[in-house]
Amino acid sequence: MVADYVDWLRREGRIVIVGASLAGLRAAETLRAEGFAGELTLIGDEPYEPYDRPPLSKSVLLGKASPHRTELPHRREIDAKWRLGVPATGLDLSAKRVRLADGDEVEYDRLLIATGVRARPWPKEEEARLDGVCLLRTRDDAADLYQRLKAGPRRVFVIGAGFAGSEVASACRETGIPVTVAERAGAPLVGALGGVIGAVAADLQTENGVDLRTGVTVTSLEGDSVGRVRAVHLSDESVVEADVVVVSLGSVRNTDWLAGSGLGAGPRGIACDAGCRAFDFRGIVTDDVFVAGDVARSPHALFGYQFLSLEHWGNAVAQAETAAHNMICHGADRRPHLWMPAFWSSMFGVNIKSVGVPSMGDQLMITQGSLAERRFVGVYGHQGRVIAAVTFDNTRWLEFYARQIERGAPFPVEYPTVDRRPEGRQPVAADFPDPSLPTHGPTVTLSGYSPADQQLVFHPARH
Amino acid sequence: MTQASLFRRITDFANRADPYPLYEELRKTPVLCEEEGGPYVISSYWDIEALLHDPRISSDAANLAAAGDDALSGPEATGLPPSFIRLDPPEHDRLRRIANSSFGPPHRPRRIENMRGELGEIVTGLIDGFGDARQIDLVDQFAYPFPVTVICRLLGVPREDEPRFRAWVDPIVAGLDPDTRTSAESERTAQEARLQLGMYLNGLVEQRAKEPRDDMLSDLVNSHGPDGAMTTMEVLTTAVLLLIAGHETTVNLITNGMLTLLRHPEVLERLRNDPGLSVRIVEELLRYEPPVQIVPQRTCIADIELRGVTIPKGSHIWLMLAAGNRDPERFKDPERFDPDREDIQHLGFGSGIHSCFGAPLARVEAQIALSELARRLEDPRLVEDPPPYRQNAVLRGPRHLNIAFEGLR
């Protein structure tokens, strides 16, 4: 009976994908590549074909790439019905229907949710509306910010020194624009990489002429008489004049539209099993709703079955492929999403790349190169095993460390390596901030050990 | 032992034309050490790939020598100091970064791309030079002179000096061959040749220090970026490396390429009508007939566990790239030359920090060379198959490739 259903689904079922970005597109392509012959619909809130986001905070801001030319290459024809520029506004699980903002409803037999995240806005709405206060997540955001940078602002102020904020600061310096960066934590990138590496990032910023303010928060944004932002007020009572403010406070998961749907969806994303099937709010896995990409939160066997939310490009691709595969195969052929977390960034001429989950690490060892030279491999340890690694301009060794993580290799790292320096012989505290303190959004969120940790009562989000 | 060791049979010249059945046998024991103290021979794709990224593996000539086998430390052991191919980080990284700042992105992102027109002209000139002949030796008349001309122009070495430096390059390259380099005499010859080549290049380097031109020798000797300058000795060792690696491997890539295409006339025909196919063809060639078959210069500086075998610290490790490239664990139908395969990947350029420095240039050279040969040779065919091979088992390729054809288009 079940087998029959899958065969029928593959032949003539209806699959709807909500979210038309990287994960949505790759899932659609995988469905077709694996023989799905039914009806495929892609729903996206932006009016554009799926495009690539990493360049938006890098080459686009430098004017080396147009924000309108970062479309994702298609791997194959997907023969889909596109509903672009129309956000999904609701989900009826029992009727198997997605509601759209234009009042339309789309029925599905199986649904994939890949709605991703959006930039967390500046919380004071009136200040957020000031001309010159920008976010950076979408192609339109990038086009707008690029124009503002090109106009030669006297100073750019970046709120939050995570990866996106640091990349914006880097683009400003590369184009000679004065920039101030404010970070609540003690250094840039601490949420993702800890204080030891954060200190290296801090030096990198200051040496490149960034006016870096750490341990401070922005208390208010001040506008002029015509509604343009003119100054930023900080918790240390200082005031910085700036005509562009980039709010880079991490992201918010796009789950609002699922409020009341009965899915286990909330501010931390949508919980799903390792096979990408969504949980309902009771913690029971659903049969026909799958999740992939930034909005998903799924248990990972390598990391103590913790539920990981990974806002990583590669995760979106891998999880979309797994979800699509599992959507149209029989139970025994399902695969778990076991992707090795990895991300990269480039700023101030340095390539930063990481594998594993650094924020789980308690200790850090520099196994190759040196912090002072800003070329190194740092290995994170957790409970006696290697849990993550980060490289600054040393990308080519990273595969080795990914295998070490997979194998649960012991930490500290005792064996000799090429370019091991005396500073790297002893582990040090990785120095992550207390996770209960809010900073800008970390790139990885860990929460709970099982679906049962979810609350059983659904509270609609209040903002 | 009634039969020579498998590894000896692979390096034996008698098996040069088709070592692939031996590689297949080799992969049955993917971590093979045939004699006490001998090298560990690694032949599966994933293992090679892993070891190329393993920081417990050293390329440092000093580590090789310390392991007690002078022959294996190769021609760079004395005379000129080692070039960056035989160094570990941080020295390797510093020298390679400086060299790269005059070769590729981010400093010179268009250097190779901008040479396309020039490469096309050289190729056209060489093919026009076949004249009315109906038979050519592709090696002597095309596959060798083309990359030599290119690397000479790129570095700033006078093309007309080729007969001079060839006399030094040949023994250096012969010294890389596992069969010849065990002899102390060839070892000495190679070292001597390397020194001579270095002294020859030193003359050019002194000139460029005074009068810089738009070439890499000038850039190398006048480099002063964030990594500082190369010493004169570093400029020389780098120049020796780039001059040799810049053409010796490409000769084989082009010759192996044309040989393979002539053995697969349907692919040659497709290439004639679609030069764009050359991109896929060259990648598949780098898998199917890689110009560098073996990386024989690595040592492990810690015990390494691989497939249940412990490779003890200090062992030599030979990475059999060409065997890994046809590993059925990695590739479907690995013995088939198939430019249409979905995921053409290969170890042809190595991987990790020592991955081929000149890869972007080699790719463009081979793409242009093969698509132009396909387009212009009328009804080409092999005069003999297999062709005669060069001695070398590491840099493997035909010594001559006689091709008959009906004329030029």
Evaluate if residue B97 carries a pLDDT over 50: yes
CA distance A419 to chain B (A): 6
Instruction: Find the residue in B nearest to A404 (Cα).
Output: B54
Q: How many CB pairs under 8 A join A and B?
A: 50
Residue A57 has pLDDT above 70, yes or no: yes
Nearest to A399 among B53, B60, B93 (CB): B53
Chain B residues with CB inside 8 Å of A415's CB?
56, 302-303
In a domain, B1, yes or no: no
Instruction: Tell me what pLDDT residue B175 has.
Output: 83
SS (H, E, C) A312-333: CHHHHHHHHHHHHHHHCCCHHH
Do the two domains A2-118+252-333 and A121-249 of this chain adopt the same fold? yes
The CATH number linked to B86 is: 1.10.630.10
Cβ of B90 and A399 within 8 Å? no
Residue B137 has phi, psi (to 5 degrees) of -100, 110
- Checking if the pLDDT of B352 tops 70, the result is yes
Find the domain containing B150 and state its range: 6-404
Residues of chain B found within 8 Å of residue A351, distances taken between Cβ atoms: none
Residue B56: list chain A partners with CB under 8 A: 415-418
Q: How far is A8 from chain B (nearest CA, A)?
A: 29
Q: What residues in B contact A417, CB-CB < 8 Å?
A: 55-56, 301-302
Indicate if the pLDDT at residue A450 is higher than 50: no
The SS3 call for residue B103 is coil
Please check whether residue B409 lies inside any domain of the structure.
Answer: no
Instruction: Kindly list the domain boundaries of chain A, sorted by start residue.
Output: 2-118+252-333, 121-249, 342-442
| pLDDT score for B159 | 94
CB contact under 8 A, A375 and B50: no
B195, two tokens? 């020194």
> Looking at this protein, which amino acid is placed at residue A56?
L
**b/e burial code for range A430-451 (CB count within 10 A of at least 16 → b):** bbbbeeeeebbbbbbbbeeeeb
Is the pLDDT at B377 greater than 60, yes or no? yes
- B54 and A398 within 8 Å at the Cβ level: the answer is no
Q: Considering only CB atoms, which residues of chain A are within 8 Å of chain B?
A: 349, 367-369, 373, 375, 377, 396-400, 403, 415-419
Q: Residue range B52-67: average pLDDT?
A: 83
Determine the pLDDT at residue B69.
46
Distance from CA of B343 to the nearest CA of A (A): 12
Instruction: Return the H-helix or E-strand segment holding A26.
Output: helix A22-33
Q: In the CATH scheme, what architecture does the domain A2-118+252-333 have?
A: 3-Layer(bba) Sandwich (3.50)
- pLDDT higher than 70, residue A446: no
Judged against a pLDDT cut of 50, whether residue A451 lies above it is answered with no
Check CB contact under 8 Å for B93 and A375.
yes
Superfamily (CATH H level) for A342-442: FAD/NAD-linked reductase, C-terminal dimerisation domain (3.30.390.30)
Rounded to 5°, the CA angle B172-B176-B178 comes to 140
Q: How confident is the model over B104-115, as pLDDT tens digits?
A: 988 888 999 999
* Mean pLDDT value across residues A159-171: 97
Characterize B340-360 residue by residue with b for buried, 16 or more Cβ atoms within 10 angstroms of its Cβ, and e for exposed: ebeebebbbbbbbbbebbbbb
Which residues are CB-neighbours of A101 under 8 A, at least 6 positions away?
A45, A86, A87, A88, A89
Determine the distance in angstroms separating the CA of B403 from the nearest CA of chain A, rounded to an integer: 39
Tell me: pLDDT of A334 over 70.
yes
- Classify residue B28: in a domain, yes or no: yes
Please name the member of A396, A398, A415 whose beta carbon is closest to the beta carbon of B56: A415
Lowest-confidence segment of A59-68, B17-26, B169-178, B286-295 by average pLDDT: B169-178
The mean pLDDT value of chain B amounts to 92
Residues above pLDDT 90, as percent of chain A: 88
Q: What phi and psi, each to the nearest 5 degrees, are found at residue B228?
A: 75, -165
Residue B56 at interface with chain A, using a CB cutoff of 8 Å: yes
Nearest to A416 among B56, B93, B352 (CB): B56
Look at chain B and report how many structural domains it folds into: 1
Of B57, B58, B89, nearest to A368 by CB-CB distance is B89
Contact A377 B55 (CB under 8 A): yes
Quick check: is B345 in a domain?
yes
Nearest-CA residue of chain A relative to B105?
A349
Residue-level pLDDT at B65: 60
pLDDT tens per residue, range B203-216: 999 999 999 999 99
Q: Which of A60-69, A218-227, B61-70 has the lowest mean pLDDT?
A: B61-70
- Could you tell me which residue, B71 or A6, shows the higher pLDDT? A6
Chain B, residues 306-365, CB within 8 A of chain A, namely 351-353, 355
Q: Give the model's confidence band at B180: pLDDT under 50 very low, under 70 low, under 90 confident, else very high.
A: low
DSSP E strand stretches across A238-335: 239-241, 244-247, 251-253, 265-266, 269-271, 277-279, 285-291, 296-300, 306-310
User: Which of B49, B88, B351 lies closest to A419 in CB terms?
Assistant: B88
CB distance from B38 to chain A under 8 Å?
A: no
Is A418 within 8 Å of B58 when comparing Cβ atoms?
yes
Kindly report, residue by residue over A248-291, the tens digit of the pLDDT: 999 999 999 999 999 999 998 999 999 999 999 999 999 999 99
pLDDT at position A440 is 45
| Architecture of the domain made up of A121-249 | 3-Layer(bba) Sandwich (3.50)
pTM for the structure as a whole:
0.91
> Which ranges constitute the DSSP H helices of B325-403?
359-376
CA distance B61 to chain A (A): 13
Please write the tens of the pLDDT for every residue from B145-163: 999 999 999 999 999 999 9
Tell me which chain A residue has its CA closest to the CA of residue B301: A416
**pLDDT tens digits along A226-254:** 999 999 999 999 999 999 999 999 999 99
CB < 8 Å to B47, chain A:
none
Nearest to A41 by CA among A90, A102, A83: A83
